[in-house]
Amino acid sequence: MSLTGQPRIVPVIVVVPPRTLLLDIAGPMEVLRRANIDQAAVRFVVSYVGPAPCVTSSVGLDVANVAPLPDGLPDDALVVISGSADEPLGAPAGSRADDAPLEAEIVSWLQRVIRPGIRLVSICSGALLAARAGLLDGHECTTHHATLGELMRLAPRARVRENRLYVEDGERLTSAGVTAGIDLMLALVAREAGHAAALAVARDLVVYLRRAGGDPQLSPWLEGRNHLHPAIHRAQDAVGADPARDWSVEALAEVAATSPRNLSRLFNDHAGMSVTDYVNRMRIALARELVIGSRLDMESIAERAGFSSTRQFRRVWNRLHDISPARLRASFR
């Protein structure tokens, strides 16, 4: 929320290439649509631009009313490039060369308008257009497994990563094939609007909120949430929004509108862990972010994450991680 009490605006410009892979657009933008509904602090304002006012998508459905590529962009814009399909459904067999002039127009536009302060997001093979524009040079990046070789050829100075859901490197964010764009956009929602908002969106879309692209495991922020019990979700939402709070079983039972005894039973039956274990996992998830993203000492991290002491923090951490906080921080430095 801004100082005026109005939602903070995040302009999102979606680049629609020829033969656009429809799920590359629909999946990530549905995440933003849900985020606009589920919270009021941030508003994602989406527009669609491209070199042609109408393109045939990967499933044979036309995407119309596409605005022209603009001459400039706001300083805090988020530019999203969709991937393309080689053979759209129901379309006659053709060659990507047929659309070369339109792709060249996108590449030229990217070279003109992308500058510091603007985040560039590519979904699936959209990374190839960013690579052709020279915008991935010197950055870590990824793409669909079928186009990794082409990405390496187009961006020899980029550090292309395999087996990643998505890769974040400064203002360059790239995702792997198709649905990985949803994972990347959920991560962006978490950063812009908070983890509680991202959790709500993930649950609405019935998808997992997974960790940063280098870690394919289930995110701790959504661990134990593969269920449909509303009382437990209420309690989990409360913990996720403020892990450091003093969450006793009694306090969470009040949030969940049930008895402490019943809440404990429900957690074990549906989340597969105790209430205390869940709270500790959320606190460690918060602590992990502080270890990686701040220079706070371990005592300060333990306090901010809600642990009563550094000793308690390390004891819980060691149960969940094979690497110490200090070694984890060093690996990211």
Instruction: Kindly report the backbone phi and psi dihedral angles of residue 42, in degrees, each rounded to the nearest multiple of 5, phi listed first.
Output: -130, 140
- Which is nearest to 34 in space by CA: 202, 191, 237, 234? 202
CB 262, CB 300: distance < 8 Å: no
- Which is nearest to 123 in space by CA: 88, 85, 157? 85
The pLDDT score that the predictor gives to residue 212 is: 47
Contacts of 8 (CB under 8 A, 6+ apart): 1, 2, 41, 42, 43
Mean pLDDT of the chain: 90
Q: What percent of the chain has pLDDT over 70?
A: 92
The pLDDT score that the predictor gives to residue 333 is: 64
d(Cα 245, Cα 236) in Å, to the nearest integer? Answer: 13
User: Is the pLDDT score of 220 beyond 80?
Assistant: no
Q: What is the pLDDT of residues 183-198, one digit of tens each?
A: 899 989 988 998 778 8
The pLDDT score that the predictor gives to residue 227 is: 73
Q: What is the pTM of this model?
A: 0.71
The pLDDT score that the predictor gives to residue 34 is: 96
The pLDDT score that the predictor gives to residue 96 is: 67
- For the chain, how big is the Rg over CA atoms in Å? 22
The pLDDT score that the predictor gives to residue 69 is: 98
Q: What is the pLDDT of residues 84-127, one digit of tens each?
A: 998 888 876 555 677 899 999 999 999 999 999 999 999 999 99
Average pLDDT over residues 224-244: 85
User: Is the pLDDT score of 215 beyond 50?
Assistant: no
The pLDDT score that the predictor gives to residue 217 is: 37
The pLDDT score that the predictor gives to residue 315 is: 96
Top-confidence range, 83-92, 224-233, 272-281: 272-281
Q: What does each C-alpha distance from 167 to 59, 68, 85, 196 come to in angstroms?
A: 27, 29, 22, 22
User: Is the pLDDT score of 216 beyond 50?
Assistant: no
User: Is the pLDDT score of 268 beyond 60?
Assistant: yes
User: Is the pLDDT score of 218 beyond 60?
Assistant: no
Q: What is the pLDDT of residues 17-54, one digit of tens each?
A: 999 999 999 999 999 999 999 999 999 999 999 999 99
User: Is the pLDDT score of 211 beyond 80?
Assistant: no
Q: What is the pLDDT of residues 288-333, one digit of tens each?
A: 988 987 889 999 999 999 999 999 999 999 999 999 999 988 887 6
The pLDDT score that the predictor gives to residue 107 is: 98
The pLDDT score that the predictor gives to residue 229 is: 86
